[in-house]
């Protein structure tokens, strides 16, 4: 009996700290009402909807406290086991499996506490109508737990995972939580964008290009004077610089983007919107290795960890221009460009070949098999051995003209 009383006190203490310092159901409703009024004056409908979701989550916990029940919350499982391939739509989707996170379960109490902490921080951002970086969210919720030497978060990776849990639990996107990631990715070309009210002519961006922001939602980014005919997305900044210096985007009337490796949500959202809203085809120029193949897979179908966002990030009709396994002979490259496949590369290539969306694609099965048979991988930069501008003046134009790509 004494144990039950102790639990009740702990739950009430957590509820008071994490749920707007609530002391009763009535006071909770009053606080929620004040928050709703503040948001209505400061933010749009999306912010209000997100605030309502947070309030419902908080109220369910407070209700459990007052009913002498253990507080718990359901969190959709973000794993391959809960990811479904929708062949009709051509994207990955999250399944219906959920895990229950309980406060008094020793294996779940920490994550339960962390979810409430981040939920409280998000609510404060909504009320203040301000945004915060992933790194900032980590520090905002970081402190030593009272009466212990334990910190609320060990590192940012742990914090980021909880934020993704919060996203799927609320059914709200990270951008709707007023959280952004570090900017990574560049764009240049025949388009003018309106970024937070400022018009930016992407034809006049000098040598650096326009830095693609983390949040590319319509409320922040609008497209104006989209005269480009297609998008060429390259894997790395070094390749992008070659295309930009050679004014490829001007000669071929396109938009040139890069993602500095695996593209961020911001880059993927930008590509998705331009493809869906303006019908611009997306062509990808990536390394001939398992990692370049995976980047293409993420751009085209979505990723397993972010399957809940595929409908707003994936581009099912994106094309893979190269480089390809046959290019070693087709482009008459030297042995110097060969990079031997290691065990990790081989294992990853076989995993990718087994993905449902690649498994029945004869073109991709042939491509991956040939790379494995070759025993080596190649980077886009290997084409420089032919000529500094070979990739911009011959390779890509020839692939586009012949419609020689993988889908």
Active-site residue set? 139
Which domains, and CATH codes, for the chain?
2-180 (1.10.10.10), 186-402 (3.40.1360.10)
Is cis: bond before 323, omega within 30 of 0?
Answer: yes
Q: Tokens 């993905």 identify what position?
A: 355
User: Which residues neighbour 154 within 8 Å (Cβ) at sequence distance 6 or greater?
Assistant: none
Low-confidence ranges of the chain (pLDDT < 50): 1-43
How confident is the model at residue 39, as a pLDDT? 33
- Give the integer Cα–Cα distance in Å for 90 and 273: 17
How confident is the model at residue 276, as a pLDDT? 97
CA dihedral angle for residue 231, residue 134, residue 294, residue 97, rounded to 10 degrees: -120
Residue 87 sits at φ, ψ, to 5 deg, of -65, -35
How confident is the model at residue 274, as a pLDDT? 97
How confident is the model at residue 304, as a pLDDT? 85
Strands (E), 71-209: 72-76, 83-86, 91-94, 98-102, 132-133, 179-180, 186-189, 192-195, 198-201
How confident is the model at residue 75, as a pLDDT? 87
How confident is the model at residue 323, as a pLDDT? 94
How confident is the model at residue 186, as a pLDDT? 95
How confident is the model at residue 4, as a pLDDT? 41
Residue 190 sits at φ, ψ, to 5 deg, of -85, 70
Residue 99 sits at φ, ψ, to 5 deg, of -115, 140
Question: For residue 355, what are its two tokens?
Answer: 């993905």
How confident is the model at residue 296, as a pLDDT? 96
User: Which residues neighbour 301 within 8 Å (Cβ) at sequence distance 6 or greater?
Assistant: 85, 90, 91, 92, 310, 314, 316, 357
- Total residues belonging to the chain: 407
How confident is the model at residue 26, as a pLDDT? 43
Q: Tokens 């980077």 identify what position?
A: 379
Question: Could you tell me the pTM of the whole model?
Answer: 0.81
- Give the integer Cα–Cα distance in Å for 290 and 306: 20
pLDDT digits (tens, 9 = 90+) for 7-22: 344 344 444 444 444 3
């Amino acid at each position: 009996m004494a144990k039950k009383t102790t639990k009740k006190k702990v739950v009430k203490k957590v509820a008071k700290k994490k749920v707007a310092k609530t002391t009763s159901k009535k006071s909770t409703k009053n606080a929620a009402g004040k928050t709703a009024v503040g948001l209505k004056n400061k933010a749009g409908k999306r912010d209000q909807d997100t605030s309502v979701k947070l309030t419902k989550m908080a109220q369910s916990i407070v209700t459990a406290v007052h009913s002498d029940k253990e507080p718990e919350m359901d969190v959709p499982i973000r794993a391959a086991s809960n990811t479904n391939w929708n062949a009709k739509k051509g994207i990955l989707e999250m399944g219906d499996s959920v895990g229950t996170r309980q406060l008094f379960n020793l294996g779940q109490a920490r994550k339960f506490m962390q979810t409430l902490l981040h939920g409280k921080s998000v609510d404060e951002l909504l009320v203040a109508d301000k945004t915060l970086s992933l790194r900032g969210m980590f520090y905002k919720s970081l402190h030593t737990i009272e009466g212990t030497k334990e910190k609320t978060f060990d590192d940012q990776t742990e914090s980021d995972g909880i934020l993704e849990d919060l996203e799927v639990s609320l059914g709200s996107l990270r951008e709707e939580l007023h959280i952004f990631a570090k900017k990574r990715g560049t764009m240049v070309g025949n388009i003018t964008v309106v970024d937070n009210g400022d018009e930016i002519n992407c034809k006049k961006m000098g040598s650096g290009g326009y830095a693609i922001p983390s949040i590319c939602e319509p409320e922040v980014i609008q497209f104006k004077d989209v005269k480009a005919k297609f998008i060429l997305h390259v894997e790395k900044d070094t390749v992008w610089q070659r295309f930009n210096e050679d004014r490829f985007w001007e000669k071929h009337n396109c938009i040139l983007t890069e993602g500095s490796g695996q593209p961020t949500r911001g880059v993927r959202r930008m590509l998705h919107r331009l493809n869906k809203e303006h019908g611009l085809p997306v062509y990808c120029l990536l390394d001939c290795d398992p990692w370049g193949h995976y980047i293409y897979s993420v751009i085209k179908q979505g990723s397993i960890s972010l399957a809940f966002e595929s409908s707003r990030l994936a581009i099912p009709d994106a094309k893979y221009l190269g480089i390809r396994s046959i290019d070693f002979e087709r482009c008459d490259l030297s042995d110097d460009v060969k990079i031997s496949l290691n065990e990790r590369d081989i294992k990853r290539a076989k995993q990718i070949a087994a993905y449902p969306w690649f498994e029945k694609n004869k073109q991709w099965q042939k491509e991956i098999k040939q790379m494995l048979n070759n025993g080596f991988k190649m980077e886009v930069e290997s084409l420089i051995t032919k000529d500094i501008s070979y990739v911009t003046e011959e390779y890509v134009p020839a692939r586009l003209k012949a419609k020689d790509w993988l889908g």
